[in-house]
Structure 1
C-alpha cells in the first residue's frame, strides 16, 4: 500500500531529535543526583493526588510523614497535591527535610507549598529512579494507576534483585485487602510468583507501625 501524498515523514529530523533527547535525559539524571546526593536517610511516600484535605487518608499521610520526620528521616513525594501534599506538610510540621520530585504534565496542578527541596522532571523513568535511589523505604498510601505502577515496579526491582531489599509498606489494610487477596489467590497459589514474594511488603494501619518496621529493618530501634 502506498503512503498518502499529503503526509510528511521527516525521518532525518526524527533521528536527530532522538539523539538530542539523549542529552536531555543525561542532563536530567545529573540534576537529580546533584539535587539529592546529600539527602541522608529518607522514605518515599506515594498516593493519590485526588485525595483532599480532611480525608482520613490525607490525615494518615500527614501523620505518617510527621512520625518519620521526627524519627530523623527525610520525606520524598511527587511534590503535587493530595497524599503528596499531606506528606510534605507532615514533614514540614516537624521541621524535617521535605522533598518533592515533580513531573511536568499538562493537566497536573502546581507543586504544593510544603517542600524544602523541589526538583522538576520531564521523564517519568528518571523520576522513579530518584525515588528508589534515595529512599530507605517505600510507604504506599491509597492511590490510582500511578501509585500502582510505582508499587509494582518497586516490588519487581526488589524481587529480581536489581535494587537492594528495602521495606515496602502498604498503608490502610481495608484499601489493600482486595488486591492482596487477588495476588495471593491468582498469583501465589497459581505459582505465578514465589510464596516468598508475599513477604516483599508489609501491611499496616498506623504511622507508628510503619516507623517500627523501617527502624527494625535498619537496626535503628
Structure 2
C-alpha cells in the first residue's frame, strides 16, 4: 500500500498518489487554472498588503482627499480641491488620493504645488482610469479591501469632497470605523455644504429619529465650505504628530550639515 507524508499530512492508499509537491511545482506541463484558484488569490492579496505597507510605512502624517473622478479642471470644485491639497502640504501633510482624474488629480496637483508628497492609490477597474500626472508615489491595487486598508492606516483624517458611490463608500466606511472605535482621533470633513447638507439632514432627521444611530454619532462629521477650515481640523487633531515630524525633519537637516570627526569622538560643524 502506498503511504507517504505530504508536508505535515500523512497519506495512504490512493490519496498518496505517485507525484510529489516539488514535482508538480517544477512541471511546466498541464493546465494553468491554478493561477485563478482561491489559494493563489490569497498570495496575491498578501503581496498587495506587503507592497502597500512597504511603500507607505515611512510616509509620515497624511490626509486622504476623496471626490469625483468626473470633475473637470474648469469646475470650481476642482480649484477648491487643488487649494486643499496645497494647504495640506503647507501644513506638513502628505496628500493621499485614489490617484485618478478629477478631484483626485486636483488634490495631488495642489500637494505638489505646496511642495508636499503626492500619493495615489489606484485600483484595477473594468474601464481604464490610470494614475494622474501629479502623483509622486503611486501604488496600484487589484482588491478594494487592500486599498481601503492603506487609506485608513496611513491617513490621519479624510477630507471628502463632492463625489459618487466610490466617495460615499470611503466616507461611510470611515464613519463606521470611527463609530465602532476601530480608529480614534480621525477627523472627517465634508467640504461643500450645498452638496452634503441633504445627506446630513437625512442622517439627522431620519436615521437618528429611527434610533439607528446615537446623537453623538452626528458629531463625527464636520461640514464646511472653507478649505482653510477643513485643513485646520486636520491640523488640530494631529498637532502632536505634526510637531514630532517637523522636529525629526529639522534633526535630519542638522545632521546633513555636520561632518563626523573620527578623532574628536563626535560631530562637529563644517
- TM normalised by structure 2 equals 0.75
Deviation string 1:69-96 (CA, Å, 9 cap, x unpaired) is: 0111000000000000000000011121
1:89 is aligned to 109
> Is the Cα contact below 8 Å between 1:74 and 1:98 reproduced in 2?
yes
Name 2:178's counterpart in structure 1.
Answer: 158
| Matched residue, 2:204 | 184
C-alpha separation in 1, matches of 2:87 and 2:185: 22
Which stretches of structure 1, 4 residues or more, deviate above 4 A after TM superposition? 13-16
CA 16–66 in structure 1, closer or farther in 2 if over 3 Å, else same: closer
Q: Residue 66 of structure 2 aligns with which residue?
A: 46
Q: Does 1:141 align with 2:123?
A: no
Matched, 1:121 2:141: yes
Confirm or deny that 1:168 pairs with 2:183: no
Give the superposition deviation at 1:164: 2.3
Alignment of 1:100-115 (within 5 A): 100-115=120-135
**TM-aligned CA deviation for residue 219 of structure 1:** 3.3
Q: Which consecutive unaligned segments of at least 5 residues does structure 1 have?
A: 1-12
Residue of structure 2 equivalent to 1:208: 228
Contact 2:120/2:139, CA 8 A, preserved across alignment: yes
1:62 alignment partner, one of 68, 71, 82: 82
Structure 2 distance, partners of 1:60, 1:36, is 26
- Does the CA contact (< 8 Å) of 2:48 and 2:146 recur in 1? yes
The 1:150/1:16 distance shift into structure 2, 3 A limit, reads closer
Deviates more, 1:71-80 or 1:107-116: 107-116
TM-score, with structure 1 as normaliser:
0.91
SS of aligned partner of 2:239: coil
Rg larger in 1 or in 2? 2
More contact order relative to length (CA 8 Å, sep ≥ 6): 1
Checking the alignment, whether the CA contact within 8 Å between 2:65 and 2:158 is kept in structure 1 is yes
Q: Distance in 1 between matches of 2:43 and 2:183?
A: 25
Q: Summarize the alignment of residues 7-18 of structure 1 with structure 2, pairs less than 5 Å apart.
A: 17-18=37-38
Structure 1 residues 74 and 15, CA gap change in structure 2 (3 angstroms): closer
1:194-205 → structure 2 map (5 Å cutoff): 194-205=214-225
